């Protein structure tokens, strides 16, 4: 396992990570979350939040080609998200217990609603909100703002109550 943790990232010791994973600046990984780099490396951008019981897996392996799972910056994976997407842009919100299958590419400023199951292959364009079951979608014009205040609060609170894996970059 190769785990690279950028400065000021907060990775709880009781999260589980397997494979080649790179965590960006000020990214928060809550306890009981799982990250599996099975099909290649997982690269997190900066200022991401991965809450409890989330599972993020890279399954992008095909015909001996291994592709990294690129996760942009300022994304929030709420409680219980199960994500095996092939690419994730910036400023996205994954609501509680949503499921993202392989071969799904997610643009920027998207919201995947609670308990939605997104099946691939599919490209979700920028500024899309997906909701309901079966999923429906519509486009919005507003940009999703980064959760900087929440990240600052979690950066102070989590180390008080959990053991933290130190930065190594």
Whether 96 is covered by a domain: the verdict is yes
Instruction: Report the chain's mean pLDDT, rounded to a whole number.
Output: 93
DSSP letters, the chain, are -EEEE-TT-EEETTSEEESEEEE-TT-EE-TT-EEE-SSS-EEE-SS-EE-TT-EEE----BTTB---EEE-SS-EE-TT-EE--SEE-SS-EE-TT-EE-TTEEE-SS-EE-TT-EEPSSEEE-TTEEEETTTTEEEE--PPPPP-HHHHHHHHHHHHHHS-EEPP--
Q: What is the CATH number of the domain that holds 105?
A: 2.160.10.10
| pTM for the predicted model, two decimal places | 0.94
Classify residue 167: in a domain, yes or no. Answer: no
Span 63-87, average pLDDT: 91
In a domain, 88, yes or no: yes
Proportion of the chain above pLDDT 90, given as a percent: 83
Residue 163 domain-assigned (yes or no): no
Burial of 50 (0-12, 13-18, 19+ CB in 10 A): buried
Q: How far apart are CA 147 and CA 93, in angstroms?
A: 10
How many folded domains does the chain comprise?
1
CA 126 to chain centre: 17
**What was the pLDDT predicted at 66?**
73
Q: How far apart are CA 84 and CA 18, in angstroms?
A: 14
Question: CA 125, CA 122: separation in Å to the nearest integer?
Answer: 9
User: CA 32, CA 110: separation in Å to the nearest integer?
Assistant: 25
For residue 114, give its domain range. 2-158
Residue 169 falls inside a structural domain: no
Higher pLDDT pick, 101 / 38: 101
Residue 81: name the closest of 56, 103, 45 by CA. Answer: 56
pLDDT confidence of 62, banded at 50, 70, 90? low
- In-domain check, residue 165: no
Tens-place pLDDT, residues 77-128: 999 999 999 999 999 999 999 999 999 999 999 999 999 999 989 999 999 9
Q: Which whole number is the average pLDDT over 26-53?
A: 96
Residue 9 reports pLDDT greater than 80: yes
Asked if residue 66 belongs to a domain, the reply is yes
**Residue 13, in any domain of the structure:** yes
Query: Mean per-residue pLDDT for 130-143?
Result: 91
């Amino acid at each position: 396992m190769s785990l690279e943790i950028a400065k000021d990232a907060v990775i709880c010791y009781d999260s589980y990570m397997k494979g080649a994973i790179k965590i960006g600046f000020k990214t928060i990984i809550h306890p009981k979350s799982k990250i599996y780099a099975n099909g290649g490396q997982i690269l997190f951008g900066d200022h991401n939040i991965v809450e409890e019981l989330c599972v993020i897996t890279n399954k992008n392996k095909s015909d001996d080609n291994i592709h990294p799972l690129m996760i942009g910056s300022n994304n929030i994976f709420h409680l219980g998200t199960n994500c095996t997407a092939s690419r994730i842009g910036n400023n996205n919100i994954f609501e509680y217990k949503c499921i993202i299958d392989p071969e799904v590419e997610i643009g920027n400023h998207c919201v995947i609603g609670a308990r939605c199951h997104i099946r691939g292959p599919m490209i979700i364009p920028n500024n899309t909100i997906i909701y309901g079951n079966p999923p429906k979608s519509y486009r919005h014009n507003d940009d999703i703002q980064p959760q900087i205040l929440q990240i600052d609060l979690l950066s102070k609170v989590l180390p008080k109550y959990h053991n933290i894996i130190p930065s190594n970059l």
